[in-house]
Chains A and B, each alone.
Chain A
Amino acid sequence: MHESSLARPIPGPSRRTMLRGIGGAAALGAGIPLLSACGGSDTSADPKTVTLGSNASDAVPKKAFAEIYAAFKKQSGITVDVNTKDHNTFQEQINSYLQGTPDDVFHWFAGYRMQFFANKGLATPIDDVWKTIGGNFPDAMKKLSQGEDGKFYFVPLYTYPWALFYRKSVFKEKGYEVPTTWSDFIALCKQMKKDGLVPIAFGDKDAWPALGTFDQINFRTNGYDFHVELMAGKASWTDKRVRAAFDNWAEILPYHQDGAVGRTWQDAAQTLVSKKAGMYLLGTFVGQQFTDKADLDDLDFFAFPEIDPAYGQDTVEAPTDGYMLSKSPKNKSGAVKLLEFLGTPEAEQIYLKADPNVVAASTKADTSSYSPLQKKAYEMINGAKSLTQYMDRDSRPDFTSTVMQPALQKFIRDPKGVDSLLSSIERQKKTIFASS
């Protein structure tokens, strides 16, 4: 049967469709360069336009950013052409994005992750911008915006501290006091457990919340400098100071919520909302889970308690988001103007009005419209001697995501195996940090 149908001459219509198909494919082929040309250098020559790559794909920040750029246009006459990508996609593609034809200015994170791309020559130093905006920022922010070569590469916009969150009403009802020392903290955990509460809500399904917990315990136990050394791959994970931090963690681990590895941070936050948990260690964005106004007003926080009096509570974990200038911006003078504008208190205030879950990086920003929670967060950051950036922003992201995240999940499940875990981390760290 098959043979006979092959021998038959190809009927007209099918040949025609075939040719049409080829025509279509050719048109498609021709279309590809056209499309890529659109995304490329068309708008580059225009001195009245600055392009900006944005990872602010959520509705609230997207709108807040748009308002900043509208204000900038009003002031300078320069249009900001925003190219928004999905938050996670932006992060995954940042490598090839910066090596290709990136936008003039792009969103990024302060600290090690900024330095990584600065070291690779994928960003332009902006010391001249900092001559103008330097007075607006505290020293801790300046330190966060510098590359390893001492030049500035980053303009911070907003930040948010990590702290222990709790419900004022619960503390009042049960007569709890905010603990400031390690022993007070453990006593409080014990009391909460006795009262039928989960002392510390915990969800580590996404694998990053445990990184934040480790950071807090580590810099309270060993200080800021050790945190930096450890994150930079210089200190050893088999050091007895690391072991001490893990011992402290193991001490409070029984007071954490059961089954953390299977729970998202959002679900863990719900146990605080429903008053089943007494405390929760997270960034201020935990407020997003408090959808009821009365609940949100009841939310408060305190700094992670002191462990070693030598370091007190002087370090605050405060991830900072902001902007960088790409390696060869097409409209450099316009981009510099934009960055100078973004470093002003006005720009930050526009942002904060629309997104009240974070606080301004600048000390000059007007705090009068802040909520009590924002004010407290602001004071906490302002009073800090050192700011850390949260483990995956203070260290190599490949190290934190492929080694630390699974390792800490393992520790949470089995705190007794810490010694072999630490030597395994150290072995893997050596090869990763040696690779480039």
Chain B
Amino acid sequence: MSTDINAKSSEAAAVPLPSGRPPENKRVPQGHRRLLTRRDRVTLAFMAGVPTVLHVALVWFTALASIALAFTTWDGIGFDSIKWVGLDNFKELFSTNPQFWPAVEHNIVWFVVLILIPTPLGLFLAVQLDKKIRFSRVYQTAFFLPVVMSLAVIGFVWQLVYNPDTGLINSVIGANKPGHYIDWIGDPDLNLWAVLVAASWRHAGYMMILYLAGLKGVDPSLREASSLDGANEWQTFKNVIFPTLRPTNTIVLVVTIIEALRAFDLVWVFNGGAQGTELLSILVTDNIVGESSRIGYGSAIAVVLLLISLVVIIPYLVSTFRKERQA
């Protein structure tokens, strides 16, 4: 059946050439009308309809449902056990939950560290690799390798490195004996930084690829011009290259914020979000997943996370759309 339509349209397309009557056949509208048969319209409705229904059901409905559930208590058993409690969940969250504020703080620390350490490092690596040094592809692959791996796997690998009894670090520096013992995973003053090293290890490679792509877009004549003006390498980078990376920087900023907000898997496998590594996403999971869950309370935490995300996303979208309208 599809060949049938196919034949018709290809016939329509094929006719003009041999017949040599250009003026009439050039008319595009006719072709457009032919293009959308009834079946096509059904098909398109189907193609647009199914994703829309799925999107509304899986994204909007669930998001709105969790906002509504944030004002209730519910153990997940039967809909009749949902009880409206107003702002109680939030009150409890802000006042009595000892893990909430540390979690917010850790999410912020996560962002600050990612933007201050691996991001400049990724930029540095990208600039070096962009010079087409020897074995550039090898380095590129090596730095990008962690990005290919799942964060959960990275968590497992680094857990082996940090294991206080048998891990690489403590074995090498001899810090696994009583008396001088470094508990990388359990010590709340250390473990967040330990996880962040692993997160940075991956993030640097990610940033490197983004900046590398950005650098490929820099017009070579700009470099030429600046070198003709007698600028040294640092001056060229600072005054010419970096300003042209502006769009890339925006993407990097957004990607890093997203990484900081969704930080979860690495910590989950590292130590399950114990003392010192609490994160909002982990609190949500702790409260919702399980045999007798606190779905209302977990949703309240999720709503807080959503609000923080919106604070970040809305200005970004507004500025992006404004730019598009201008263009």
Contacts and interface: CB of A to CB of B under 8 A. Distances in A.
A17 to B, nearest CB: 10
A270 B166 CA distance: 11
A401 interface: yes
Interface string B72-94: 01011110010101001000100
Contact of B186 (A99, A260, A401): A260
A226 interface: no
Interface string B183-208: 11111100100000000000000000
B76 A261 contact: no
A250 B182 CA distance: 21
Main secondary structure, interface of A, reads: helix
A122 B75 CA distance: 13
Contacts of A288: none
Contacts of B178: 198, 257-258
A62 B102 CA distance: 42
Interface string A390-401: 000000111001
Nearest to B9: A9
Interface stretch (B42-50, B124-132, B143-151, B311-319): B42-50
A435 to B, nearest CB: 4
Contacts of B10: 12
A436 B291 contact: no
Contact of A436 (B73, B162, B274, B286): B73
A260 B57 CA distance: 45
A276 to B, nearest CB: 9
A337 interface: no
Interface in A398-429: 398, 401-402, 406-407, 409-410, 413, 424, 427-428
Interface residues of A, number: 53
Contacts of A427: 96
A409 to B, nearest CB: 5
Given A12-B6, A258-B183, A436-B75, A401 B290 contact: yes
A260 B183 CA distance: 8
A262 B2 contact: no
A72 interface: no
A122 B77 contact: yes
Given A92-B289, A263-B164, A409 B73 contact: no
Contacts of A259: 164, 181-183, 186-187
- Max chain B CB contacts within 10 Å: which of A261, A401, A432? A261
A22 interface: yes
Contacts of A56: none
A25 B50 contact: yes
A92 B97 CA distance: 23
B214 interface: no
Contact of A9 (B31, B186, B271, B286): B31
Nearest to B42: A22
Nearest to A25: B50
Contacts of B46: 22
A280 B153 CA distance: 31
Contacts of B290: 91-92, 397-398, 401
Nearest to A434: B73
B294 interface: yes
Contacts of B13: 9
Nearest to A431: B92
A12 B291 contact: no
Contacts of A198: 178
A70 interface: no
Nearest to A432: B294
A113 interface: yes
Contact of A7 (B28, B183, B185, B289): B28
Nearest to B185: A262
B186 A263 contact: yes
A396 B293 CA distance: 10
Interface string B28-54: 100100010000000100110010000
Contacts of A207: 272, 274
A106 to B, nearest CB: 12
Interface of A: 7, 9-10, 12, 15-16, 18-19, 22, 25, 91-92, 94-96, 98-99, 113, 116, 120, 122, 198, 204-207, 257-263, 267, 270-271, 396-398, 401-402, 406-407, 409-410, 413, 424, 427-428, 431-432, 435-436
Interface of B: 2-3, 5-6, 9-10, 12-13, 28, 31, 35, 43, 46-47, 50, 73, 75-78, 81, 83, 85, 88, 92, 96-99, 162-166, 178, 181-188, 191, 271-272, 274-275, 286-287, 289-294, 296-297
Given A401-B290, A406-B98, A436-B75, 14 more contacts: A9-B31, A12-B3, A12-B10, A96-B76, A204-B186, A259-B164, A262-B186, A267-B166, A396-B292, A397-B290, A398-B292, A402-B287, A413-B186, A435-B296
27 contacts: A9-B12, A9-B13, A9-B35, A12-B9, A15-B6, A16-B3, A25-B50, A95-B77, A95-B293, A116-B291, A204-B186, A205-B186, A258-B178, A259-B183, A259-B187, A262-B191, A398-B294, A401-B286, A406-B99, A409-B274, A410-B98, A413-B187, A413-B188, A424-B98, A428-B97, A431-B92, A436-B75
Closest 5 CB pairs of A and B: A261-B186, A262-B186, A259-B183, A262-B185, A435-B73
